[in-house]
Amino acid sequence: MAPLVEAARRGDAAARRILDHAGQTMGTALGSVLALLGHRTVVVGGGAAPAFAFMRKAVDRALVPRHSLIGNVEFLSARLGFRAGAIGAALRVASQPEAAPTELHYRGHRSPCEPAR
């Protein structure tokens, strides 16, 4: 997504239209999820974080029809930025030892991070 965001920053109209459409789609999906779960706060991280400034108006427009269901929505930036999803997934796996691999290999060699047996 980085090249698209860079193009939008330079004023590329096509890049901005793409991000606007992505924001509209994101807003529609978020409206449904927020209404279903009853949440009013969205943390923006991962790959969408750098692009969100260009998508925000479209997201807000898409949420307007659901305002009576979801109220005002607060958007927060993830402290971990674009790495938030990967870090969250790693922490989730690490918190479930039964889901973690029993042997870690890197290019055919045992990883130095592998626990001693």
At 23-53, the pLDDT tens digits run 999 999 999 999 999 999 998 887 788 899 9
**Distance of alpha carbon 37 from the chain centroid:** 17
What are the backbone dihedrals phi and psi of residue 106, each rounded to the nearest 5 degrees, phi first?
-130, 115
pLDDT of 90 above 70: yes
> How, if at all, do strands 74-77 and 105-106 pair?
unpaired
Q: What is the DSSP string of 20-62?
A: HHHHHHHHHHHHHHHHHHT--EEEE-GGGTTTHHHHHHHHHHH
- The whole-model pTM stands at 0.69
Other CB atoms within 10 Å distance of the CB of residue 110: 10
